């Protein structure tokens, strides 16, 4: 997969080089290009914004700057050609087997992932977008290319997205019901959520199959050694060696935590028919 980010604050995206994403880059699973929007500005001041039509406070990002930037990023031409793929912060480890895994190699029907439409997805973080969820992350993890457009000020001229729809599948997304000052932090969050789902990025394949949200419930508490710490004991079932009992206890804890923190998720699980009589019994108590 290749991720590109267009921003007026490229340094904000430095964390993409670290830890999980850095390792994916090292292994050749991921390429990341970060592009400074001002490279496409026309004037000596490198201005990227202007006053809004119709009046009102703040500034709107200019279409004549964003348009050519997105054209170059899709084609990796102009300034975008020079914006080298980020190097990871990790020491270089020669890859034994490059783990470049495409949607097809994973045995997925490419058409199922995107209806056969291989145009890159243009992701636009905005409080007015559709909610970004685990399902979104799952869907994007099968893409070859994701391009993120980071707005600042009052956002980007709408015509940029109307026009970009010829070359991109445009998706406006929101992380949640709160207002950030730009799209950069949202991109870091989304990139991490997506990249960790690419096969070969997490060491243990099972580790994300059991995640919170993967089955629509929150995960219960976790414990490690020592068995007693500051007079607090690990629940006895976890040290019993009875795997059946452990699984049932974990399911119960997940149900109870979800009912407490996110009753909406319990309702959704009930509506899908994902709760059996035992589950409903635990919730009823």
Residues catalogued as catalytic:
127, 154, 196, 211
Asked if 246 is part of the footprint of ligand 6SD (rule: CB under 6 A), the reply reads: no
* Alpha-carbon distance values, 244 to 221, 247, 248 (Å): 17, 5, 6
Residue closer to ligand 6SD, measured from CB, 157 or 279: 157
DSSP 87: P
**Least separation in angstroms between CB 224 and ligand 6SD:** 34
Residue closer to ligand 6SD, measured from CB, 56 or 284: 56
Distance of CA 93 to the CA centre of its chain: 26
Alpha carbons 50 and 66: distance in angstroms, whole number: 13
Residue closer to ligand 6SD, measured from CB, 159 or 260: 159
Question: Which residues within the stretch 146-205 sit at the binding site for ligand 6SD (CB under 6 A)?
Answer: 151-153, 155, 174-176, 178-180, 182-183, 186
DSSP 173: E
For the chain, give the longest Cα–Cα distance. 71
Please return the burial class of 144, using the count of CB atoms within 10 Å of its CB with bins 0-12, 13-18 and 19+: middle
With H, G, I as helix, E, B as strand and everything else as coil, classify residue 122: strand
DSSP 179: -
Asked if 79 is part of the footprint of ligand 6SD (rule: CB under 6 A), the reply reads: no
Asked if 7 is part of the footprint of ligand 6SD (rule: CB under 6 A), the reply reads: no
Q: Kindly tell me which residue out of 22, 68, 125, 142 binds ligand 6SD, with binding defined by CB under 6 A.
A: 125
Per CB under 6 A, residues contacting ligand 6SD are 125-127, 151-153, 155, 174-176, 178-180, 182-183, 186
């Amino acid at each position: 997969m290749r991720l590109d980010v267009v921003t007026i604050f490229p340094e904000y995206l430095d964390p993409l080089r670290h830890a999980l994403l850095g390792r994916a880059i090292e292994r050749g699973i991921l390429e990341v290009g970060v592009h400074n929007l001002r490279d496409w500005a026309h004037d000596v001041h490198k201005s990227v914004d202007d006053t809004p039509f119709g009046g009102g406070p703040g500034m709107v990002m200019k279409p004549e700057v964003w348009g050519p930037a997105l054209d170059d990023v899709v084609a990796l031409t102009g300034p975008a050609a020079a914006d080298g793929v980020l190097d990871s912060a990790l020491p270089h480890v020669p890859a034994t087997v490059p783990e470049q895994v495409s949607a097809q190699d994973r045995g997925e029907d490419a058409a199922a992932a995107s209806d056969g439409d291989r145009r890159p997805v243009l992701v636009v973080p905005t409080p007015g977008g559709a909610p970004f969820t685990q399902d979104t992350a799952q869907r994007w993890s099968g893409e070859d290319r994701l391009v993120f457009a980071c707005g600042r000020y009052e956002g980007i001229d709408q015509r940029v997205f109307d026009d970009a729809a010829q070359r991109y599948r445009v998706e406006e997304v929101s992380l949640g019901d709160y207002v950030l000052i730009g799209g950069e932090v949202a991109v870091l969050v989304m990139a991490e959520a997506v990249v960790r789902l690419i096969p070969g990025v997490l060491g243990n394949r099972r580790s994300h199959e059991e995640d919170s949200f993967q089955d629509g419930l929150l995960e219960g508490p976790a414990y490690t050694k020592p068995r007693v710490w500051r007079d607090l004991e690990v629940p006895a079932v976890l040290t019993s060696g009875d795997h059946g009992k452990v699984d049932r206890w974990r399911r119960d804890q997940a149900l109870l935590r979800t009912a407490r923190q996110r009753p909406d998720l319990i309702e959704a699980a009930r509506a899908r028919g994902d709760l059996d009589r035992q589950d409903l019994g635990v919730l009823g108590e």
